[in-house]
């Protein structure tokens, strides 16, 4: 009996990689407002607001794990948690798509 089949693993890596790229893009879009941090009259753009909201959703649960450790975690560990979170999202998306296909 196979615990994990190769198709599930490939699709998990594909969806996890896609999730990671989209997460980084959303994070970069949300950081656009940092240049105007000291200007009290500046209003963030719609792209910045969307990026911030999307990165908050896409970084779950990694952001919660990292914030529970405080601000002093090593960068390598932060990247590892972020990549693991993307793989978790990839496995979830793959599982849902495979279940949906099996139900039809």
SS3 content of the chain, % helix, strand, coil (to 5): 75, 0, 25
- Cα 69 to chain centroid distance, Å, stands at 18
pLDDT for the residue 2: 64
pLDDT for the residue 71: 65
Provide the 3-class DSSP secondary structure of residue 44.
coil
pTM score above 0.85: no
pLDDT for the residue 13: 95
| In contact, 51 and 26? CB cutoff 8 Å | yes
Location of structure tokens 């495979």: 98
Digit-coded pLDDT (tens) for 14-49:
999 999 999 999 888 888 777 777 777 878 888 888
């Amino acid at each position: 009996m196979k615990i994990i089949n190769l198709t599930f693993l490939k699709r998990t890596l594909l969806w996890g990689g896609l999730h990671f790229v989209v997460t980084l893009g959303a994070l970069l879009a949300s950081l656009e407002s940092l240049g105007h941090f000291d200007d009290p009259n500046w209003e963030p753009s719609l792209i910045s607001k969307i990026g911030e909201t999307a990165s908050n959703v896409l970084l779950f649960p990694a952001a919660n794990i990292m914030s529970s450790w405080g601000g002093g975690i090593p960068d390598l560990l932060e990247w590892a948690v972020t990549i693991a979170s993307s793989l978790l999202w990839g496995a979830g998306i793959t599982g849902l798509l495979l279940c949906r296909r099996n139900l039809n």
